[in-house]
Amino acid sequence: MLVSPKRKRKKLLAVASGGGHWVQLLRLGPAFIECEVVFVTVDQAYGADVHGYKFYSISDATRQTLIRLVWATLELLWIVCKERPDLVISTGAAPGYIAIRLGKLFGARSVWVDSIANAEELSMSGAMAGRCADLWLTQWPHLAKQGGPHYRGAVL
């Protein structure tokens, strides 16, 4: 009798900044059920939200804090090199965009879900990530366009 080997679970790197970005990422959790999930965010205290999962905290940075942004990029590069995700997903902001770009260098597919807070226009990170993400989503139907972002519902 031939026994097929167990299907390897895909590794998912889930990355978000703090606050609402993190909350929205956690609300996507049920979609990650068949994946080995590794969480990354900017606050060590958020590790309590994902107890039992692999968790990394990186430096909090924005385009206004260039030196910290470079440091956060190096931290994310180390995480991507170590974890080798099959998929990177983010709800924003800068750390998610960087993680998607780095993941692509290693062959990972990517999903960007723009923050629900961006009701009038896409976030800057979302607009940039949309150019390289495999799936680009908005949580507002009126922001959806044929080439993306696409609307598939809201997280909150």
- Domain residue limits, the chain: 10-151
Residue 48 burial by Cβ neighbours in a 10 Å radius (0-12, 13-18, 19+): exposed
Q: Tell whether the model's pLDDT for residue 2 goes beyond 90.
A: no
Residue 28 burial by Cβ neighbours in a 10 Å radius (0-12, 13-18, 19+): middle
How much is the average pLDDT of 1-10?
63
Residue 104: phi and psi, rounded to 5, are -60, -35
Tokens of 59: 């430096």
| Per-residue pLDDT band at 118 (split at 50, 70, 90) | confident
CA contacts within 13 A on the Cβ side of 151: 12
Q: Higher pLDDT residue, 119 or 35?
A: 35
- What's residue 5's pLDDT? 56
- What's residue 156's pLDDT? 66
Q: Domain 10-151 has what CATH class?
A: alpha beta
- What's residue 124's pLDDT? 86
Dihedral sign, Cα of residue 112, residue 48, residue 77, residue 34? negative
Could you report the per-residue pLDDT of 85-116, keeping only the tens digit for each?
A: 999 999 999 999 999 999 999 999 999 999 87
